[in-house]
Amino acid sequence: MTDIIGILQEIGYTLPDITIEPHQGRGPYGDVWGPAVVVPAFVDQQTRLIRADDGSQVTSRTTVYTRLDVVCPPRSRITIPDGTPEGVQTLVIAALRRDAHGQPDLPEHLEIVCE
């Protein structure tokens, strides 16, 4: 199995680090997020219409590709660098596993679709 992030780094592609705060549910005061995790990712800023988990159509402005072992459920909070100290925060609409199913030559990754 081949990790797409490893392939990009191996050929010299510089990947930005993103920060993921996994959504853990809702508390009495709203959403609750877990501890922040920093991971390398390929960020694609492109607007597209997708279907959310509840079946509604929503607009996605950013898609992030990272390692398959990253934990990132829907409604997780992601911070993407944009040249400012605080970066840009967005929420996850869906995280899609792109698994190689044991095939050694196929790259695998987690596709994270964001608002």
pLDDT tens for 29-88 read 999 999 999 999 999 999 999 988 788 999 999 999 999 999 999 999 999 998 888 899
Cβ–Cβ under 8 Å, residues 57 and 49: yes
Locate the domains of the chain by residue range.
Answer: 2-114
User: Which fold is adopted by the domain 2-114?
Assistant: Thrombin, subunit H (2.40.10)
Lookup: tokens for 84? 């400012």
Cβ–Cβ under 8 Å, residues 54 and 74: no
First to last CA, the chain: 30
What is the structure's pLDDT at 1?
Answer: 53
